[in-house]
Every structure is written in structure tokens, then in C-alpha cells.
Structure 1
Amino acid sequence: MRWHAEFAWLGDGVAADVLIEADGERFTSVTPGVPAPPDAARLPGLTLPGLANAHSHAFHRALRGRVQADRGTFWTWREQMYKIAERLDPVSYRALATAVYAEMALAGISCVGEFHYLHHGPGGEPYGEPNAMGEALIAAAADAGIRITLLDACYLAGGIGQPLKGPQLRFGDGTAGNWASRVDSLYESTGKTARPHARVGAAIHSVRAVPREQIAAVASWAKEHRAPLHVHLSEQPAENEECLAEYEMTPTRLLADCGALGALTVAVHATHLTEEDIGLLGTTTTGVCMCPTTERDLADGIGPARDLCDAGSPICLGSDQHAVIDLFEEARAVELDERLRTRQRGHWSSGELLAAATSSGHYGLGWPEAGRLEPGAYADLVAVGLDSVRTAGPGPQFAAETAVFAATAADVRHVVVSGREIVRDGRHLLVDDVPAALAAAIAEVTAEPDPESTPAPDTES
């Protein structure tokens, strides 16, 4: 397989006339300054490595638009999210996730980190196959043509010292030991079956949802398996306040004391941190996933991304609840939010932000051999048009800056994942009509019950 990129970002800058060759799912050579061979597929515009969406909750996509009708907080948004969670089953979840992952592919995303906590049936009753919901997500990624790291989340409490209740019962395994037993089965089955597109990692939902004595067990599982470990961290001030009241320390310090920080850990959001927290994350080289479109949609706040990076934490990006699915928007928001916070410009270069969207994201998801245009890396390509109403004008010398600060997901023209063409000329090749698939899947899990189909109450009993 051979492609000829008009321009390509090679990690240290943009090169012209780049011949890219692959054998199977890996690149074999990347050579700039080469005239286009007649047998090479042409890639107009700027070619990037595949993008990594390091934090996703696929079923939250059903909330887009619906949660904008009223005012409220993160906590009122959460109640609407629970209503969607109540309605999903393995079949409807696969359909919804397939459509969502296809939308990601259209946006140039070649790998998703699915932070998965919707494990069981209504009332917390396990399915006959305990990992039926996780298996649905792995199958959905295959259906959409992208890779997935299923970050199976331990979720044991409804808040610090609070039991699970209502829809939360579907999330829980009772203990970290029970969680580990279930995830062991998923981990082993994924490794033994022909599913090279999937890897399994671990997640601690938050210090609110996993008691201190159980956090270490989840961290130990991740270390034993050399698997990624992700955790929601200090997304809300209320989380910090509850943790301080219960444990007399911040969530970051609690995770550090439980052995949950390190190079294979990614802290998601990390919005409300102390200077000590930033130092703990940086000195342990714990990654941080920023999700700016979600953090602003939920009025969470602006996290100290530049300070975290300077302290030693690699930064990656996620679309989280999918208010939009557009990693170009996530990337530029890291810089633009910092401008709002400091009233100064120029905190992040385009190269740093592209690395956050590509190589850093893949590393944080346990795919260190992806996210780069170089021999031996996974053959993932994203061609971004430089001739749309958003991107026309600056010229090739500003191609990287144009991609980060002007392009949107709508400018993605071609996507190749592991050597396989998934998107051509802005059209998904595996899911015929992505908008229709999204509409149908969302309608199924949001439709109000038909009053006429509801049995009348038994007034004689």
C-alpha cells in the first residue's frame, strides 16, 4: 500500500510530497520530497497520524442537544444521563456505539478510549455473559473500523460513604475483587480471540465512586497486567470537598497514597488542583486527559493544562460526553482556554497540540506504537483538506497551525486505520449513513413510552 501526501506532519514539522508505504497494518517507509508515483493513492491537503480520542462515554452522545434546553449544573446533567443509562441493553448499546464510533472515524479518530462503567442489567442484575456490555462496545469499534481500549471502570459507591442506588446499580460489582474477576475474563478473552483492534485497560471511576481501601486493588490489577489506568480526577469542587472531609487529603494525594499514579495512569479532567497536586501528577509522569468541550459544556472550569505539562504530565485529549466530536476543537481549546485564564496568548505550539491529539493519546491508551508517521507504527492516516471555507488561504507554511486553529472535523477527507481505508472523500465506507444510524440509535434509547401501550392500573387489587 502506498500513499502520496501533498503535505504531511511528521512530528517535528510539515514536509511536502511525502511518500508513505505500508505492509499490512504497519508503515514500512515515510519519505518526504518524492514525486508522486502513479500507483500511489493521492492525499491532498495535510496528512496527520490517526487521532486518539482518549476519553469517551459512548452513550452520552444521546444527550447532545437535549441537555441544552434548561439551566443547571453538572449534577442536574447527571440525572439526565442516568435516564439514558437505564434504557440501554447490549443490542441497543452496540447500535448506538457503532454510530458514535463511525462519527469519530469521520472526524479522523483511529482509536478510542472507552471509559466503560455501564456493566450490568437493570437493578444491577448481571447478564448471562457478565461482560455483555463491554463486548458490545468492542464489537461496535470493529463495526466502525477503529481501534478501542476498553477502560473497564470500577464503580462501587454512589458517593463517598454512600451506597449505589437507582441506575447506579448497573455500574457496580460490589467489591474491587469482584470487578477484577470480571475484567480478568474480558482481558483474557480479548487476548485469545482474533480481535487485534481491541485492548483492555482499567479505570477508577473517581474517588467518590471507589473507596480508599479498594483503589489500591484496581491500581494493582493495572500494574500486574501492564495496562492503562484512567481515573476521573477533581472534575468538580464538590469532589475535592468531600474527599478532604472524609480523608483529610485531596483526591490526587489519595490516589498517590494508594499507588494509583504513574506513567501508565491518565487523570481525566484534573480541573481543580492545588500546586501540590500538580507536582504529584508531574513527578510521577501521570498523563492528563483534557476534555475542553465537555468541561465548558458542564461549566466545570478550566484546568491548568500548561502547568501540568511543564511539571511533567503528558497531555492528551478526549471528547468525553460528545457535546461535539472534534479533536481539532479540543486541541485548540486547550490553548484558547489558557488565553482566557491568563489573558495571554501563545502557550501551546501547533506541534504540541497535534502531539496531544495523536502520539500522546495513543500512548495513554496503551498503543505506544501508534500516532506517528514513521516506519513500524500502525498505518493510520488522516487527510485534512486545506481548501475549505475554514482552511483556505494561509498557505502550506502554516498547514499545522491551520489544522489546529481553523479546521474542524468536517475538513477530514480520508481516514486509514491499520492500513485499511475507512473514510473516503468524507464518506464512511463501513457504516452507510452515519447520521441516520445515529438518529435511529438515539431515538431507541430516548423515546418516551407510549401511554396507550402501558397497561391500565388494576383498580380491584
Structure 2
Amino acid sequence: MTARYWAPWAWLPSGIEEGVLLEVAGGVLEGSRRGSPDGAILLPGLVLPGIANAHSHAFHRALRGRTHGDGGTFWTWRERMYELAARLDPDSYFRLARAVFAEMALAGYTAVGEFHYLHHGASGPYDDPNAMGQALIAAAGEAGVRLTLLDACYLAGGIDEPLSPAQHRFSDGTAQAWLDRVSDLKPTPTARIGAAIHSVRAVPRAELPVAAQFDGPLHVHVSEQPAENEACLAAYGRTPTRLLHEAGALGPRTTAVHATHLAPADLALIDSACFCPTTEGDLADGHGPARELLDAGARLSIGSDQHAVVDPFAEVRALEHGERFRSGTRGRLSPEELVTAMTTAGYASLGWAGGLVPGAVADFVSVRLDSVRTAGSLPQQAVLAASASDVDTVVVGGRVVVRGGEHVLGDVGRLLADAISEVWT
């Protein structure tokens, strides 16, 4: 498919340019240059490169608005999450994930890293051991978002603790068995297979080097909670970051998710980090050292994690505001750094070539500059004024998925309501 799009403003690697022509062929961006709108599809406002949700647990969306009644902690929230996980099978998971991925597309996300650990049935593996992963791949395809399926190794209930009954669905028994199962998953033109080490709590030290053998994007929950650090130090005399480094699990292809409670010596060991500010705030987890990681040379991306909020603009504002709370200083992350976190950094962490450059995948998002939120904003600073409601057009692989704020699947709110009602009934 060949198409030409014209943007009043576009966020190119050289900065924002006015009057940009985007030329697409075969799902790839062939050119991005100043040009005439004649004969092109007109896009309103500011066009950004494709936006990546680098950390998602799709099924957690069914918890939104259901975990606040008694306050609680991350750990009490987790028990409610286990209750939800027990209710899902491949068919219901497909319907839920399709609606969640469509919600992401409406918000401007064009790619998602699905951190997938809900693998098996209550009584053991399905006839197809990858049935749940295949459901996610199919759901993303129908919703029109690019997917990196980060299939997670999950073997223990905690450091030196057995799996709880609720966690048995997550486990393959050993890291090698997990690797063998993951090797049967096949990519598609818009979905690729990555991997995850759930955490140092869920993968024992002896199994970490085996899990680290996966050749591709690798993500891992790191230092999300102080209790995780304390348990790791007590058991191994090392921080989670140091333990993963010694096991060969860190490097350019690895993204540390959350990285909230890092020790100073951990910073230099991390090449890529994904912060999930709205989830970290929702669960009262804290705010990690974003500025320090960037200064140490790490790539920084964003994720919506449990989907308490699905809005990339809210994520990057919360990222900057968290830095302001920590430091008492504005502008800890520039608008350019925030857009990079939303776009090309997230794509790189998921193994895709993003950006409005020739040869990149043809994923881009147009954001209105004339809404009640963005009217009067400079295009260079619109990321700090816009919300998901200002997303007008979303293109993934050259295909229009959202136009005029409407998804090709129709009423996404109804899809969500039906899928979530089915899960809880």
C-alpha cells in the first residue's frame, strides 16, 4: 500500500518542521520532507512518531476502579489481580485484550510491549501451550497495534518460596522449559516475540542465566518495591540489578521496568529503563531516578502497566512531575526528552525501528492543536498540554487505525464494558 500524508507540523529527528509530507509504501516510511499537501491525506495538528507503550499487562485493565475501596498496598492489590487472572481463558482473554489494545490506539499508542505471564489453564497447559500468547497476538492484530509479546519466565512465588496456587498458571517449571515453549511462538508482520524475566523474586538465581539466553528484546521488573530489594539483599547480598548483571541478564537489549528503588551503583548497569508513572503512583510505589538514568546514558521509555490510566501524555507529564517533586526544579526532562521516551526509545526497547525517518515502520500519530487543552500551545511544548482525547489520527504500518478520534472497530467503550463484564460475571 502506497500513501502520502501531509502534516502542518511534524516531529522529525532534527526538530519540529512545518508542512511535512510523509510518504509510505509497504508499511514503511519512505520519506519525510517539506512538501506540498496536494494529493495527500491531510492530518490535523502535530504529527508525532509512533508512540510505544513499552510495559503492559492487558488483563489488569479489568481491575480499573475496583481496587481502591480499602486502600491497601501493592501486595493486597496483587491478591485481587490473582483473582482476576484465575477467571481468564484464551477466548475471554482475546476479547479483553482486543478492547484494551483498541483503547491504547485511541489514546495514541501504536505499539505495545505485552509483559505476558498468564500462560496456562487452571489444571495445566492448554492443548496449545501458547494459546494465551496467540490470543494476545490475534487481539493486537484486530485492534491495529504493533505488538512485542514479552513472554515472561515465572518460576517461584518469591525468593526461596514455592508458587502459590494462584501462580501455577504462570509457570513452566524451569527456565529451559519456558525457553522451549517460547521458541514455538512465531512472529507476524506486526508482532514479534520478545521475552521477560518476571523478577528476581519469581526466577531463582540459578535459573537466571538460562532465561537470559533468549536472543531478542528482554524485559524484567527491577526494584519495583523496597521489599524486593530487602529480600534480594538478604538472600544474595546483592541488589536485584547487580544480581541480574552477574547472571548476564542485563545489556543493550534488556529493559529494566520500574527501576524505582535503585542503589546509586545500579545506575551504570542499566542500558534501558521503562517507567510507568501512573501505575507507580496508583500503587504508591514511588518515583525512580529518571534524570540520573538518562545522565548515566540509559534509554528511558514509558508504559501504562496496569492501565489505571491509558494516556501517553499523562505518563510523560507524571514522569516530569515526579522529577519536579523529587528535586524542586522544573524542566528536569525537556519536551524533546519526553517525546523520545514516548516514541523512539520505546520502539527501540521493543525491537522496532521507529521515528519519522526513511526505513522506519510507518507508524505515526496526529494530535490536535486546537482543542480546549492544546489551543495556544507551541507545537514544541504540546506534549505537556495534550491528552489522549486530543489524538485525531493513528497510523500503524501505513494503515489508518483511528481517524477523527474514532477506532476502526467502532465503539471501544462498549467492547471494554462487554469484555470486562464477562470476566467478572
- Say which of 289, 297, 310 aligns to 1:312: 297
Q: Which stretches in structure 2 are left out of the alignment for 5+ residues?
A: none
1:66 aligned counterpart, secondary structure? coil
Q: Aligned residues, how many?
A: 423
Q: Which residue of 2 aligns with 1:277?
A: 266
Q: Which residue of 2 aligns with 1:379?
A: 362
1:122 aligned counterpart, secondary structure? coil
**Aligned partners of 1:126, 1:35: CA distance in 2, in Å?**
56
Query: What letter is aligned with 1:210?
Result: V
1:399 aligns with 2:379: yes
Deviation per residue, 1:290-328 (Å, 9 max, x gap):
000000000000100110111111001100000111111
Deviation per residue, 1:42-97 (Å, 9 max, x gap):
11100011101000000000001111222110001001111110000000000000
Deviation per residue, 1:334-356 (Å, 9 max, x gap):
11110001111111111111011
Deviation at residue 177 of structure 1 after TM alignment: 0.9
Query: What letter is aligned with 2:78?
Result: R
2:212 aligned counterpart, secondary structure? helix
1:62 aligned counterpart, secondary structure? helix
- Say which of 414, 432, 435 aligns to 2:413: 435
- TM-score (structure 2 length as normaliser): 0.98
**Aligned partners of 1:436, 1:12: CA distance in 2, in Å?**
41
Query: What letter is aligned with 2:20?
Result: V
Query: What letter is aligned with 2:297?
Result: G
**Aligned partners of 1:366, 1:215: CA distance in 2, in Å?**
22
* Pair member with larger Rg: 1
**Aligned partners of 2:19, 2:351: CA distance in 1, in Å?**
31
Query: What letter is aligned with 2:212?
Result: A
1:44 aligned counterpart, secondary structure? coil
Task: Give me the CA root mean square deviation.
Answer: 0.9
1:248 aligns with 2:237: yes
Runs of 4+ in 1 over 4 A off after TM superposition: none
Deviation at residue 432 of structure 1 after TM alignment: 1.6
Considering fraction of residues, name the structure with more helix.
Answer: 1
**Aligned partners of 1:280, 1:91: CA distance in 2, in Å?**
40
Q: Which residue of 2 aligns with 1:31?
A: 33
**Aligned partners of 1:381, 1:301: CA distance in 2, in Å?**
31
Q: Which residue of 1 aligns with 2:119?
A: 119
Query: What letter is aligned with 2:153?
Result: C
Instruction: Give the conservation status (yes or no) of the 8 Å contact 1:46–1:384.
Output: yes
**Aligned partners of 1:315, 1:165: CA distance in 2, in Å?**
33
Instruction: Give the conservation status (yes or no) of the 8 Å contact 1:265–1:287.
Output: yes
Q: Which residue of 1 aligns with 2:167?
A: 168
Q: Which residue of 2 aligns with 1:410?
A: 389
**Aligned partners of 2:253, 2:84: CA distance in 1, in Å?**
31
**Aligned partners of 1:141, 1:71: CA distance in 2, in Å?**
33
Deviation per residue, 1:136-182 (Å, 9 max, x gap):
00000001011100000000000001111121010011100110111
Report sequence identity in percent. 59
2:280 aligned counterpart, secondary structure? helix
- Paired residues for 1:171-320 under 5 Å: 171-186=170-185, 190-191=186-187, 195-220=188-213, 222=214, 225=215, 227-281=216-270, 286-320=271-305
